[in-house]
Amino acid sequence: MIPDTGRVSLARIAVLVSGRGSNLGALLAAERAGAFPGSVTQVVSNRPGAGGLAIADDHGIATAVVDHRSYPDRERFDDALAAAIGPGEPDLVVLAGFMRVLGRRFVDRYAGRLVNIHPSLLPSYPGLHTHRRALADGAKLHGCTVHFVTADVDVGPIIGQAALGVRDDDDEDSLAARVLALEHRLLPACVRWFCEGRLVVENGRVRVLDTAGPGEIYSPPLDR
């Protein structure tokens, strides 16, 4: 079972990216606004040209590249990734569009402080091409999920979700853009909950303690 996170004071946050880094940008904007008691202290990518690295450079954040193509297998890549992250001693590791499956040894190293944002309402549509699959199925609701990472892909305890209604005129691109806007709101909220020590994991399920009092749960409103 993933342990309770407890309160983290001024959390050090490592962000792993593979692409343009829009969720990283949203986290940094939230940090500048004082939305959570923590700071993104390092950004690591498995792709040398990832846009997220440029965003980090613009903000004076330490970066590293661990190119998965330089390693013969997942375990050696995972070990190199852990070596790049380790010196920063992060309290939280955020997978923000990180397009590599991590092995059990890496996941166990950061258990309880490793989270991912996924562009669907898990457990529906794990894996890739989530928007295309939702449209093909005629789904009426779609959205995004932030969850703790476990060794099984896209099945870790769910921290938070945000949803929207699928429009009749949505195509894959328009639906992806609208879900991405939800991601930019949900991920900073979940990071805040972690940093504030409001996440309690019991029997594989996450409760988010509201400021109104212990045991109350906060759920993001449905975006219509």
Residues annotated as catalytic are: 118
For 8, the token pair is: 């983290």
Judged on CB neighbours under 10 Å (0-12, 13-18, 19+), 127 is: exposed
